[in-house]
């Protein structure tokens, strides 16, 4: 079944303009096939030292799996939390460029959790998610134009 992933992705590319795959942490053979077919690969991390060392290790594994540095980027969550590293430091520690950052908006997440609901649309973090989604759409559109 896993051997059919490349064919499934090729079929999806004929049907959909964009495909986003969320891969598990381990680099299974099926993940490697998806990575080789990907235009961009993003690692999500936080700006704390343990997360950065894990991201550095994963970035190295991705490079060893054939993902070149120009296709690798970091999405850094919870920037601005007390004691966390700045994006430039994150990039230096991990050895991959920071593509996007999301602020630490613990208060809004706490409120949503207590209410048992979703993050308020008016929250700073919700607006950052919207901006990130638009950034991704623009990036994907630009890639489609280049690919065509």
Same domain, 34 and 57: no
**Where do the DSSP E strands lie in 39-79?**
41-45, 72-79
Residues 92 and 77 in one domain: yes
User: What pLDDT is stored for residue 145 in this prediction?
Assistant: 63
DSSP characters for 16-77?
-S-------SS--HHHHHHHHH-S-EEEEE-SSHHHHHHHHHHHHHHHHTT--GGGEEEEEE
Q: Residue 9 belongs to what domain range?
A: 1-39
Domain count for the chain:
2
Q: Do residue 61 and residue 128 come from a single domain? A: yes
Which residues, 6 or more positions from 27, have their beta carbon under 8 angstroms from its beta carbon? 35, 61, 62, 65
- With cut-offs at 50, 70 and 90, classify the pLDDT of residue 26: confident
Lowest-confidence pick of 7-16, 68-77, 118-127, 139-148: 139-148
Residue in the structure block whose two tokens are 């540095």: 69
- Per the structure block, which two tokens stand in for 60? 């190295």
Please tell me whether residues 51 and 80 are part of one structural domain. yes
Look at residue 2 and tell me whether its pLDDT is greater than 70. Answer: no
Q: Do residues 68 and 101 share a domain?
A: yes
Examine the pLDDT at 147 and tell me if it is beyond 60.
no
The predicted model gives 116-125 an average pLDDT of 94
Q: How confident is the model at residue 61 (pLDDT cuts 50, 70, 90)?
A: very high
């Amino acid at each position: 079944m896993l051997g059919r992933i490349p064919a499934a992705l090729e079929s999806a590319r004929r049907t959909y303009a964009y495909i986003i795959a969320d891969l598990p942490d381990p680099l299974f053979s099926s993940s490697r096939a998806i990575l080789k077919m990907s235009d961009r690969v993003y690692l999500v991390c936080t700006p704390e030292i343990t997360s950065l060392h894990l991201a550095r290790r994963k970035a190295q594994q991705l490079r060893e799996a054939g993902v070149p540095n120009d296709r690798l980027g970091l999405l850094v969550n919870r920037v601005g939390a007390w004691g966390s590293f700045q994006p430039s430091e994150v990039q230096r520690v991990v050895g991959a460029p920071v593509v996007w950052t999301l602020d630490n908006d613990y208060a809004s997440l706490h409120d949503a959790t207590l209410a048992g609901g979703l993050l308020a649309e008016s929250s700073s973090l919700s607006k950052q998610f919207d901006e990130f989604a638009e950034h991704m759409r623009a990036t994907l559109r630009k890639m489609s134009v280049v690919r065509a």
